[in-house]
Chains A and B, each alone.
Chain A
Amino acid sequence: MGEMHPDRDSYEMIWDKVIRKEIDNYQSSYVNCIELIPNVKEEIWKKYVSLNVYCKNNYMKSPEGKIDRHKVAACYMIAIAMLRPMRFVQKIDNKEVPLAINEMLAITVGLSLVRAFAIAAIKENDSINKEDADILVAKFEDGIKIPEGNLVNHGVYLENYANEIYFAASEGKISVLSLAHELYLLEVITRIS
């Protein structure tokens, strides 16, 4: 009846529906330019599990319990950011283009997960009537809303986010709690949009 945590069956779905698919998208966008680290699927899972366990042991009241959706998504994001599963092996159009593809992949995985969790939480919430629930769910249909236009002071939001993750991971300062908090705020922006 109870789920095993961390849940391997769920990871199989996350891998198939999100991670593998998005890696394929990158490889088809940058043909012959990207290779993957060996055993990428298992490496991401192992890293995720170690982050999940670390989070439970160090931050949570009960190490045997579950962590919330934002922390789950953050652990996946950090696993990908630390492993850097995609490597450029060729220049793009003979140019070295600065692209934080691993960090962008991490963001995509994190946001896809937060979206799925948020929809599940809305549908399971008995205190919301069906009509309101449908309106809320519709806000998440195309993904998490990203600040843009006048809300962005400089650059492109996702590129800034990817840079933040890159530098934080490189400096060994990336934090599950901080990333989870950022994901929570992005979910809130989507809910109130």
Chain B
Amino acid sequence: MTGLELGIGILAGVIALILVVSAVTIMVTKVNSKEINNMRNVYLGRLANSDSSIQDAMKYLKLTNGIKQQLHGEKK
């Protein structure tokens, strides 16, 4: 075998190796991608509005958790 034939053989072998590795990589990636693509995306919806009336609550409104309560333990 001449040096030229050896060189060509090595080159062919390296190219073949690269092609095989590339093919395997692409196959593995596509399989995983398929699984990811099959997963449903979860979209967040908006928040539900409320029915509660602020005016009704005002009947019960008083000052609590204020500075007097903190400083002196005063209860209103």
Q: Do A and B bind each other?
A: yes
Contact surface of A with B, Cβ cutoff 8 Å: 3, 5, 7, 9-10, 13-14, 17-18, 21-22, 25-26, 29, 59-62, 65-69, 71-72, 104, 107-108, 111-113, 115-117, 119-121, 124, 142-144, 146, 158
CB <8 Å contact, B64 and A61: no
Bound: A13/B69 CA distance, A: 21
CB <8 Å contact, B67 and A116: no
Main SS at interface, chain A = helix
Kindly provide the distance from the CB of A142 to the nearest chain B CB, expressed in whole angstroms: 5
Bound: A68/B25 CA distance, A: 53
One of A3, A7, A25, A72 near B66 (C-beta < 8 A): A25
Q: List 8 A-B contacts (CB under 8 A).
A: A3-B54, A25-B68, A66-B49, A66-B51, A67-B49, A108-B67, A112-B61, A120-B60
Main SS at interface, chain B = loop
Bound: A5/B58 CA distance, A: 14
Answer whether residue B70 sits at the interface, using C-beta atoms and an 8 A cutoff.
yes
Bound: A142/B54 CA distance, A: 20
Given A60-B49, A61-B48, A61-B49, A7-B61 contact (CB < 8 Å): no
Q: Which B residues, 43 to 73, have Cβ-Cβ distances below 8 Å to chain A?
A: 45-71
Answer whether residue B75 sits at the interface, using C-beta atoms and an 8 A cutoff.
yes
Residues in chain B near residue A120, CB distance under 8 A: 52-53, 56-57, 59-60
Bound: A124/B56 CA distance, A: 10
CB <8 Å contact, B46 and A59: yes
Residues in chain A near residue B58, CB distance under 8 A: 10, 13-14, 116
One of A18, A69, A112, A158 near B52 (C-beta < 8 A): A69
One of A14, A72, A111, A116 near B60 (C-beta < 8 A): A116
Q: Which B residues, 29 to 46, have Cβ-Cβ distances below 8 Å to chain A?
A: 45-46
CB <8 Å contact, B57 and A119: yes
Closest residue of chain A to B57, judged by CB?
Answer: A120
CB <8 Å contact, A112 and B64: yes
- Listed from nearest, the 5 A-B pairs whose CB atoms lie closest are A143-B64, A65-B49, A68-B50, A120-B57, A111-B65
Closest residue of chain B to A56, judged by CB?
Answer: B49
Residues in chain B near residue A14, CB distance under 8 A: 58, 61
CB <8 Å contact, A26 and B60: no
